[in-house]
Amino acid sequence: MVTLLLDQTQLEIVLSPIERASTFHRRNLRIVRKHITKVQLTDDAWTWLRGVPGPGTYIPGVLAAGTWKGAGTTDFVLIRRRRPSVVIDLDGDEQYQRLILTTRHGLSLTQALRLEVSDRPADVVDIASTAPIPVQKPRSRPVIRPRPA
């Protein structure tokens, strides 16, 4: 399971040694925060795959890891089985247009991206857990008044 670190300027996707081997990446991925345009949570990341696997590992229904290339698109994919995942759309990134990652911390990522964070990288779970809980104001019901006769 990838670890997601976030600071004021970038999102870092920390890959374990096994994930590095299966994706054919030597280093962690660093994405400039301003390039992130949309984050979506999904229960079935396999439906988001587009193109063909580039360098990486592909076992249908079990593991998709590495670079996927389509018509004018390049995506980074790390999908394991049918687990909750996050789809991150990018605009302006030199290398990728989309990231598809299996992680149970997708909701924490979406919450952390909305917050002001420190200049030191921190785990998105820690950032989201220290955020203030939004308080909803109770809705007032409209007053129904009888019509004058």
pTM greater than 0.85: no
User: Is the predicted pLDDT of residue 76 greater than 90, yes or no?
Assistant: yes
Q: Read off the pLDDT band of 41 (50, 70, 90).
A: very high
Average pLDDT score over the chain: 87
d(CA 92, CA 139): 41
Q: Quickly tell me which residue has 């600071």 as its tokens.
A: 7
Q: What is the mean pLDDT of residues 15-43?
A: 92
User: Is the predicted pLDDT of residue 131 greater than 70, yes or no?
Assistant: no
**Predicted local distance difference test score (pLDDT) of residue 72:** 87
**Predicted local distance difference test score (pLDDT) of residue 63:** 93
Q: Quickly tell me which residue has 């939004």 as its tokens.
A: 134
User: Is the predicted pLDDT of residue 149 greater than 80, yes or no?
Assistant: no
Q: What is the mean pLDDT of residues 22-44?
A: 92
The closest of 68, 67, 100, 63 to 85, measured between CA atoms, is 100
d(CA 75, CA 93): 11
User: Is the predicted pLDDT of residue 24 greater than 90, yes or no?
Assistant: yes
